[in-house]
Structure 1
Amino acid sequence: MESDDMRDFAAEARRFLDAHVAKAPDRTAVTWGEGDDSMAYFSSLPPEEEREFVQRAREWQRIRYENGFGWITGPVEYGGRGLTPVHDLLYDAVESEYDVADTGVLSVIGLGMIGPTILAHAQPHIRDRWLPAMYRGDAIACQLFSEPGAGSDLASVATRAVREGHDWVLNGQKVWTSVAQHSQIGLALTRTNSDAPKHRGITAFLVPMDTPGVEVRPLRQMTGGADFNEVFLTDVRIPDDHRLGEVDGGWTVALTTLMNERATVGSEGVGPVGAALSPDHLSALMRATWTWDDRALRARLAELLVDALATEHLNARALRKLRGGVAPGPEMSVSKLMYGQNLTRAAHFVSDVLGPRIIADTGQWGTYAWTELLLATPALRILGGTEEIMKNILAERVLGLPKEPVTTAAKEVRS
């Protein structure tokens, strides 16, 4: 049962939203052939439009922050409300009813993953400098983790950090870095002790992205956009006070970030991606393409929607635990795994429904637009931890299965 506190908080949120934005159109109703038929997961906007998109996100985040909704769970001294994760989820549910700017460019990585890591591991003056700036929308943060030779195996990072007096000098390359082109700060994992076991020789740093020697290069995707980047670090000098945690203790810092990542990347969204798992939208597509009578396709649709519904209930279970003051268990890892799989299956299902219309633009509404999601599906199975890594985590840490044997050749490669 919803408490008086929750009802009062929801009412406060609605008063704030009513004063600043309009109600959103009904996203559940499907009128075939009307509205925007985009099914993009990643942005493919021209640079000028993308800059405007980011600016709108910053402005809405600033309005949230100034009215007490920018960091609902954050400490009061940094502009937060000091409330619970349930309050945060409740606000998200209320805000979904309104037509607000998409703040994912700030919130998914920066506010959802790096902000909590700075709070947990940074020195006080660094927290004072960056946390209000991030949650006010003034600063965007990126995650400088993956490398060409160390994707999901983060313990194998090769970017070097060498101590020189009160500074550290960083050299290396990071890759698949989302929103680096918009970021003012990055969280980097570096190798500081090559003689220690690989998990114990890593140190984490905050890297101001305007530091000399930091170069961001866009990576063009199949979808036409460039959400990801490669970042080159050449003799980048970072003060020691920008170090997070202990020297060679960066793995603990990385785990803090990854725990928040699992919770951030793990539920189907609204908007175009939400429509990919909407019974109304998918059945309307089948009727418009004269495939509704295909029993095999309808059976596949039913299986897909059942799995999507199961994932939705899994997220609801995690929410119930939060309401009861209990941290979720493996739900977030399972949900993250299902998130990519459900959307991938949806894209492949629609490609079978559409046939050639998904690769040739006939001008028909709601058909060729699906190619944007189809081309994004390989990334959905990689971002936030590959499916293989997630399955290993669930097998070993949840089901208690033995670890996979490591061959001598694999050990040599990892060393």
Structure 2
Amino acid sequence: MINIQVLRENPERIRQAIRDKGIGDPELVDQLTELDRRRRDHLAALQEAQARSNAVSKDIGIYMQSGRADEAKALIEESSQLKTSIRERQEAAAQANEDLERGLLEIPNLPHPDVPLGHTPEDNKIIARHGVQRTFDFDPLSHWELAERHGLIDFERGAKVSGAGFPFYTGKGARLQRALMNYFLDLAVDQGGYEEMQAPLLVNADSARGTGQLPDKEDLMYEVSRDGLYLIPTAEVPVTNVHRAEILDGSRLPVKYAAWTPCFRREAGSYGKDVRGLNRLHQFDKVELVWFTRPEHSYEALETLRNDAERPLKALELPYRVLLMCTGDMGFAQAKKYDLEVWSPGQGRWLEVSSISNFEDFQARRMQIRCRLEDRKKPALVHTLNGSGLAFPRIVAALLEQYQQGDGTIAIPDALQPYTGFDRIG
């Protein structure tokens, strides 16, 4: 949620952010400005009525004690009217506040000045590349062809049991999944200094609202309506909410968590080649990295977090590139976002495997996560960040395609062999 002072002092900045991100309606800013004015008018009138009510009550007591009952009677009538007015003002102020809060939830975060303007993938800025795209002396297969040949993933039976986008991992495919989970977590904990966490897979609406999934991404989430719960689209949701309505010790920041979870996304409206194989699933595994930082340190933390997300890609020797996402391709809640994309030789294109984002105080304001700082009398909102470290499906796709051999087998990267227990598939 944005700071309401920005709405009061620079509403055009918010309108421009809405236009730059392509999310929401700029006219909402005028509606919220009017709601804020109305709420403040109600509060001012309420305070005036309460002050008058207190004075009248005091005068009634004085008149009654001095035997001036007739004068007291008139004030008693006024006091009754004031109580009615106070109740009405309280209700009106509460309604205006509720409407304002609901409207503010629909305003996206303001982009950082470094974020490039644009609304298409071509407007994203490639800022780094790592590794060399492999050349083959044979025609490389796609990961879904390799998975079928070696019995690693059963898409057909997954569709029979649950529907498209819910594959079975079988044999060495399942072991590869388990190896990635342990390897990514070990890198985060042992080399990145993260505290490991196991998080709930179902969250309530307050949690989904706190991280910005609601109301922005409600159509993309699986809802258990009977219980008022949602399946998590990412561990970001439960892990960031772990400190909701808490005041952290600023001297102990940053706090960093790593969590592996299955993730569930409806991904409605996705068709064509982008959904073949593991490209786009409704259920997948991911290790998420979450930070809570002091406000002044969050952009330094963003670069460290990006390095942490890149670490496994370098260790697995997968060619990848880093993109600074443009305003229209960065999401509702992010102030600045990087994407990491691996090269898919079997498909001849880049696949996103991680997003690394700084939300500044946008999520923390919704969740009221604050910290005590030495130079401030009142607790300050923390800044929150997160990044995938990493999402499994497209990593598996890239590994199978990148490490396929001319004899039909698939090599396992050296770094992963202690976790798989085998050095080759096939």
- TM-score scaled to structure 1, two decimals? 0.24
More strand by share: 2
* Larger RCO (CA within 8 A; separation ≥ 6): 2
Largest Rg, 1 or 2? 2
